[in-house]
Structure 1
Amino acid sequence: MNHALVSLACHAYVVAALVYLVYLVRQLDALATAGRVLVGTGLALHGVALFGLFGAQGGRPVGVAQGFSTFAFLLVAIFLVVDVRYRRPVIGAFITPLVVAVLLPGLLLDKGQVLSPEAQRPLLPVHITIALLGVAASALAAGVALMYLLMERQVKGKRFGLLFSRLPSLEFLDTLNRQLVVVGFIALSVTLVTGAFFSSAAPGFFWTWTSKQIATLVAWSVFAALVGARSFGGWRGRRVALLTMTGFGLLLVCFLSSYDFIRVGGGLR
């Protein structure tokens, strides 16, 4: 039942992605409304599926499939909030295809999952949810950063074509990027603290310099430098967009390294 609901949600996201891509060419209000309805419907179906699934697992996403599915759900939720608040549906043309790309592996890898003893610790669901929220916020920030770079290229090259007339202003994209980076940075900071807590509860020293820990620390450092440069150095524009995409790339490495892709039924490592 849960798999069927997620599959229906994925179909809604696919159609929404097509609608938003058409909206990128022809900005009709009807298309924007249809996109929001499809995304909202998919989010509702997706949420019901995850709620039922996690309810039987103590609130914990288990395995590769559920990790991808939760990531996609949070990404859609953040996008919908941004779209409803700022009324910039064109962002959907860049985000909803990413959502589909994230969710499809989850559907394909959706096998029987076993809740490992390590995943049964109290408060671990909070740690995992905040971590995935940080990755999702950073993913949306990276998408906005990509839009900024495309728009800037149009402006600098004085090629005022389709993207120039469709994308939001550079100022809006820069401001939205800042807000999303702050959300991602806060979530990542909380993830590091709670991760250290859970690791220290295990035998031995909690910091073992694994590739995942190193990538997480470097990603946190990139976002910390980005937030600091914006707040105190007045950084804006292209270099901020590039740093955002770099930070998300590192977070993606952390996310993927958290799962055992050889033993597909495995959970968070």
Structure 2
Amino acid sequence: MPLPLLAIAAALLYLAAAGLHLMHILQRKPRLSTSVIALGAIALVCHALVAWSSIFDEHSVHLGLYRILALISFVINLACISWLVRWPLQNLLIVLLPLSASTVLISAFAPQTGSTPEALGHGLLLHIASSILAYAVLTLAAVQAVLVAIQDRQLKQHRATGIVSFLPPLQLMETMLFELVWMGVVLLTVAIATGFLFVDDFFAQHLVHKTVLTLVAWVIYSTLLWGRYQLGWRSQTAARFTIGGFLLLMLAFLGSKLVLELLLQRG
């Protein structure tokens, strides 16, 4: 099947799965149904094919903004599915599936940007892979943090309406959040370490802002984990730190990509 048709199929299936899951939630059926799982699984396969075909060809690797966003959203979905085995994170799919639909369409139809290196060394591949995994896990953490903040505020106001009424207990939501942050920090640490080891001129002019913002985000996440276990931080404080760190990471990644590829037209 041609790439554009695969992308359209993936997007439609993602939106159908999100709509069906939302309808089940409103009907007070928060568990994932077989239909949602089937639609999501087929969409994920189509998404994988689109991401692979967009990034890899016989002679080069395309790491432009639009292509890498599709890959990151695919990894986010895989990470969420992996955590579903342990934690009830299915409510995150209401946000993640529509986002995946948009990234897969952009990847297939947007013009190619960025450089196309012919080969990547093993060290650089490790840096890229750990960076993508860190972004994926910390994106899940950011969405979870938003839900925790909303849930905490409504509980303090003695009302729990909308999707909050279907969420697990706040203590469990916080436990899930901190587990995601822990895993994200470990992956981000690997990404930073491999960047220093394998990326040429990690503090070069076109990378320095990305490096500094990423390091600041790492400090924010690490401070949050320290505060959790030393000072008992939770709920709103945890949400603010998590979302703040995520915004810095996105500014580091998307900001540098937008400037270099779309404004300066560099890789």
TM-score by length of 2: 0.85
What is the correspondence of 1:223-242 to structure 2 with a 5 Å cutoff? 223-242=221-240
Identity %: 25
1:6-52 Cα distance to aligned partner (Å, 9 max, x none): 33222221222222322331233786332222222111222233345
Match of 1:196 in 2: 196
What 5-or-longer segments of structure 1 have no aligned partner? none
TM-aligned CA deviation for residue 260 of structure 1? 4.4
Q: Is the 8 A contact 1:185 1:224 kept in 2?
A: yes
What is the correspondence of 1:1-269 to structure 2 with a 5 Å cutoff? 1-28=2-29, 32-56=33-57, 60-111=61-112, 115-116=116-117, 120-199=120-199, 201-202=200-201, 206-208=202-204, 210-260=208-258, 263-264=261-262, 269=267
Change in CA separation of 1:55 and 1:101 when aligned onto 2, cut-off 3 Å: closer
1: CA distance, partners of 2:55 / 2:109:
19
2: CA distance, partners of 1:244 / 1:107:
31
2: CA distance, partners of 1:75 / 1:134:
10
2: CA distance, partners of 1:76 / 1:268:
29
What 5-or-longer segments of structure 2 have no aligned partner? none
Change in CA separation of 1:267 and 1:81 when aligned onto 2, cut-off 3 Å: farther
Number of aligned pairs? Answer: 264
Q: Is the 8 A contact 2:151 2:160 kept in 1?
A: no
Q: Is the 8 A contact 1:151 1:170 kept in 2?
A: yes
TM-aligned CA deviation for residue 256 of structure 1? 0.5
Pairwise CA RMSD of aligned residues? 2.9
Q: Is the 8 A contact 2:70 2:104 kept in 1?
A: yes
- More moved, 223-232 vs 139-148: 223-232
